[in-house]
Structures are given as C-alpha cells and as structure tokens.
C-alpha cells in the first residue's frame, strides 16, 4: 500500500483509515492510500520549513541540476507513469503520454528559468546610489492538485516553486494520488529531505489545515470556484499569497469564413479531450446562423464516430469520466437544457455496452441559450451545446456573458475578426484556430471569477517569489533634506 512522503521518508503518518482509489473504467480498487489528518499536514509543513533555509541557499545551478535530474528520471519511467495515470484517472493513454511530456519538460523549463532569473538592476535617483530588485522565495508552498491532470498541474506549481527556492507540500486529489506518490518515489528522492512532501487525504482534513497553517505563506490551488472562495476566506486574515485557477466556461466562436470540417474537428477535440474534464474545455459554442444547420449536422456525424472505452485500449478516443457524481451532473445539465427547449442530436446519457465504468456518451445539443445551466455553469463533461449568432458583435457579447474567463477560441482566417476577438473577449488565453494548445513560455490563467493566478512562463515563476527593492547610497553622507529643516 502506498504511503505518504514526509521529510524524505515514507510513512503512514497518523492515519487510521485509508482511501480506496478506483479505476474509473472498471470500478476496480487499484490501491489504498492513507487518509491523512491535520497532524500529517502539520508534520509535512514542519519538514518543509526545516528544509527551506538550506534549499533557498542552494545555488541556482545546483537547483537547476536537480530539477533536470527529476525530469530525466520521469523520462526513464515514462511508460509506467503514463499507464498509472490512465488507470487512476481514465483518459486515454495517448493523452497521458502528452501529460507526461508536458510534466517533465515543465521541470526542464523551470530548471533553466530558475538558473537565469533572480531580479533586476534599476536606474538610481542619484549617481551615488545603487538600486536593484531581488526576487526571493516565500518559504513553504502548499500545492493542492486536482484529479483531471494529476501530474501536469502538479508540475506547473511545483517546478517553479522549487526553482525559485521554495519548498513544497503537495496534496493530490483523493481520487488520483497514485501517480503523484510514484512520481515522488521515482523522481524526487534525490532532493534533500523535506524539499518535497506529499500528504494524501480529503480537502477538509488535509487541504484546509495546510491553508490555515501559519508557516505556509503560499497556497497554489486548481479546482472549483467554491473551494477557491473557501481558501480565500481562510487565507485573507493571514494575508497569504494565493495562486488560484478556478475553472472555466470557455466559449468557441465559429466565424462564417471558417471551413466547417476544420472547425468541427477543432471543436470535438476542444470539448471532448479527457471526456470534457478539462478546465479549458470548450463548453459553449456560437455558430453563425448561416452555417448553423450544416455545422450541427457535420458535428453530430463526427462525434458519433468517436470510440469510447478503457483508456489503455489504443483504439479508444474517449475514456470514462472520473466518478458517477460527475457523470450525474452532466446528465442533469443536459436534462435541464432539454426541458428549456434544447434538442439532443447525439448522445445524452450514460454509455451502453459497458458492464462497469463511468462512461458517458459524447453529446451534441442544438438550440441552446443562456437561460440554460449548460451555457452558464461549468459542466465538466462530454457535452457540446450549440447556439446561433447573427453578427460578430453578438458573438463577442455572448462570450463575455459569463462570470468565468479562463480561455476563449475563435475559428477564423479573417484578421479583422481575430483582432476584434482578442481585444474584446475577457479571458486569460485567446486561441485562434488551435484550441487548448499551451506554451511553456506563455502565461496560463484566467480573469474574473476564474482567479488571477498565472502558471507557465516568467509569470508562473514570479507567482512563487516576492519582490524586495534595495536602495543603497554608496557615499552614505548626511543629506540636506534630513532634519533640521
């Protein structure tokens, strides 16, 4: 049975109970992990705090070498980790190959950025003065990771945090902790004890104690708006640094100049990757009324051809959802939309032909509108609602008619429309003709209720550093503007 990783040692901690980890494709128990407690969270924080001073004073070159080594070890165990991700999280193996590539290369990227970046020299106000800015690590960073990309979203937090000189306590989702624990065993064992710690358990029992802990100045979290609001309310009195990415309701606009075949293929990928369980999934689609009927028909045909099954099967396009309760939420959104006048062209319910597993039919709905939950609340599943628009101004207005602002996609070759789109749509990432593609150097994060944190790029590194301005008067003489006047 896997144990928690604290201070460089494997331990059951104070846990007296365990959590069964379920394969969502078979509903079989893969393993059990300790149900961590507040005491375990405190032990992990104490270990990370003890390790911090030495780690922050480790040279940037040494830290870079260790992060590169972590990435190299991930490469050596690539297939094992990708397979374990598939078994505990469900998405097809090919998608987990991509997750592994992103995970290990994120460590390579931040290894070099941490070697390069510490601050800047700024112009002084007087020739006798020297002014510079230093970026310093905060201390212990609590990294609370969701279940849909267990290693990728870990890397986006942990790699920059470590590169900047922080130590970390990782709380993986209680649904998908196995790949994280195995990663710690395979790729982090060479790091000094306490630099990386992993505590398994539920949010109220482990996550909340981490947020409340006075020795944790940084909270990095990806998850729901409600949980993010809870974290913010706890952290506010202690003035903690919050690094929050709280989900999305991403729109896609199909411009009238775009080829239907290309747009259909892009949309299916953007909406159904990981069975729609992606924070940047396209969850509402606006098609120009001149193309609406033809586009809907072509999309329904394309989606009908996609293959569901166990993600370990190489012939599968879409795997299961993570749990039955998430599948029920998708079904509820569809049912509510239908009750308000939407029509299902394809799918609409639990997939048949499977003895076990949380499979849901990829679904296409037409005649959706903003009175429906499926166009306003995060669905987080394989449902594609379509709505016609009359002109581009209306399309932009519909995109912005949401409390969330993570990403948005436009499918168009018209440069004038592209410019209007990226200038006027309120979202942290704008994709033109290539949805859901990230860039190691490009900041990722949202606006509005999605939260203001940024991952990747220089901005992702800066999230884990605080700025110190040094003003040095080298001459050091008495100033004529001092007392007495």
pLDDT digits (tens, 9 = 90+) for 427-466: 999 999 999 999 999 999 999 999 989 999 999 999 999 9
The tokens of 93 are what? 């193996």
User: Can you give the pLDDT at residue 427?
Assistant: 98
The pLDDT of residue 1 is: 66
pLDDT of residue 117: 82
State pTM to two decimals. 0.97
pLDDT tens, position by position, 304-332: 999 999 999 999 999 999 999 999 999 99
The active-site residue, picked from 99, 205, 245, 377, is 245
Can 62 be counted among the known catalytic residues? Answer: no
- Each residue's pLDDT tens digit, 15-46: 999 999 999 999 999 999 999 999 999 999 99
pLDDT at 342 over 90: yes
Of 311, 339, 337, 330, residue with least CA distance to 383: 330
Q: From 3.40.718.10, 3.60.15.10, 3.50.50.60, 3.40.605.10, which CATH number describes the 4-246+451-470 domain?
A: 3.40.605.10
Average pLDDT estimate for 402-410: 98
For 402-412, letters b (16+ CB in 10 Å) and e give bebbbbbbbbb
Catalytic residue among 279, 283, 377, 463: 279
Q: Under 8 Å CB-to-CB from 485, ≥6 apart: which residues?
A: none
Check if 245 is active-site.
yes
Answer yes or no: same fold for 4-246+451-470 and 250-432. Answer: no
Q: Give residue 168's pLDDT band: very low, low, confident or very high (50, 70, 90).
A: very high
Q: What mean pLDDT value characterizes the chain?
A: 97
- The confidence score (pLDDT) of residue 357 equals 98
In whole angstroms, what is the distance from residue 85 CA to residue 147 CA? 10
pLDDT in tens, 226-254: 999 999 999 999 999 999 999 899 999 99
- Cα angle 437, 442, 446; round to 5: 80
Helix (H) or strand (E) holding 181: helix 178-187
- Look at residue 174 and tell me whether its pLDDT is greater than 90: yes
Cis bond upstream, residue 320 (ω within 30): no
Cα–Cα distance list, 156 to 79, 102, 222, 444 (Å) = 21, 9, 10, 10
Domain boundaries, the chain: 4-246+451-470, 250-432
Q: How far apart are CA 189 and CA 110, in angstroms?
A: 19
CATH architecture of 250-432: 3-Layer(aba) Sandwich (3.40)
Whole-angstrom distance, CA of residue 92 vs CA of residue 134:
44
- Picking from 308, 328, 332, the residue whose alpha carbon sits closest to that of residue 318 is 308
């Amino acid at each position: 049975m896997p144990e928690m990783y604290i201070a460089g040692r494997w331990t059951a901690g104070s846990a007296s109970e365990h959590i069964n980890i379920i394969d969502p494709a078979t509903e079989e128990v893969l393993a059990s992990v300790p149900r961590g407690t507040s005491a375990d969270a405190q032990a992990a924080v104490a270990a990370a705090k003890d390790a911090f001073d030495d780690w922050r004073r480790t040279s940037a070159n040494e830290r870079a070498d260790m992060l590169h080594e972590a990435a190299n070890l991930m490469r050596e165990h690539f297939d094992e980790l990708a397979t374990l991700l598939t078994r505990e999280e469900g998405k097809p193996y090919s998608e987990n190959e991509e997750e592994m590539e992103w995970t290990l290369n994120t460590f390579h990227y931040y290894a070099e950025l941490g070697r390069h970046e510490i601050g800047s020299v700024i112009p002084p106000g007087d020739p006798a003065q020297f002014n510079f800015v230093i970026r310093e690590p905060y201390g212990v960073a609590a990294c609370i990771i969701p279940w849909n990309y267990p290693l990728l979203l870990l890397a986006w937090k942990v790699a920059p945090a470590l590169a900047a000189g922080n130590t970390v306590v990782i709380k993986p989702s209680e649904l998908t902790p196995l790949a994280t624990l195995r990663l710690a065993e395979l790729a982090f064992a060479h790091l000094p004890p306490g630099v990386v710690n992993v505590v398994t358990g539920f949010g109220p029992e482990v996550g909340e104690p981490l947020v409340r802990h006075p020795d944790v100045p940084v909270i990095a979290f990806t998850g729901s708006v409600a949980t993010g609001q809870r974290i913010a309310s706890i952290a506010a009195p202690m003035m903690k640094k919050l690094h929050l990415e709280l989900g999305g309701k991403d729109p896609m606009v199909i411009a009238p100049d775009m080829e239907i075949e290309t747009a259909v293929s892009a949309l299916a990928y953007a909406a159904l990757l990981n069975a729609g369980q992606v924070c940047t999934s396209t969850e509402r689609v606006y098609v120009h009324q001149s193309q609406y009927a033809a586009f809907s028909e072509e999309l329904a045909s394309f989606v009908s051809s996609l293959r569901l099954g166990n993600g370990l099967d190489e012939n599968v396009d879409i795997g299961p959802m993570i749990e039955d309760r998430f599948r029920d939420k998708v079904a509820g959104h569809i049912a509510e939309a239908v009750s308000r006048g939407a029509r299902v062209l394809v799918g609409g319910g639990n997939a048949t032909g499977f003895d076990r597993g949380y499979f849901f039919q990829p679904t296409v709905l037409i005649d959706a509108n903003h009175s429906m939950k499926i166009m306003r609340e995060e669905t987080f599943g394989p449902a594609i609602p379509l709505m016609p628009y009359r002109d581009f101004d209306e399309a932009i207005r519909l995109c912005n008619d949401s409390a969330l602002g993570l990403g948005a996609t436009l499918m168009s070759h018209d440069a004038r429309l592209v410019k209007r789109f990226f200038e006027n749509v309120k979202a942290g990432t704008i994709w033109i003709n290539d949805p859901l593609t990230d860039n190691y150097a490009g900041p990722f994060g949202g606006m509005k209720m999605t939260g203001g944190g940024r991952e990747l790029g220089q901005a992702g590194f800066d999230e884990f550093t605080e700025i110190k301005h040094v003003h040095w008067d080298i001459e050091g003489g008495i100033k004529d503007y001092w007392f007495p006047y």
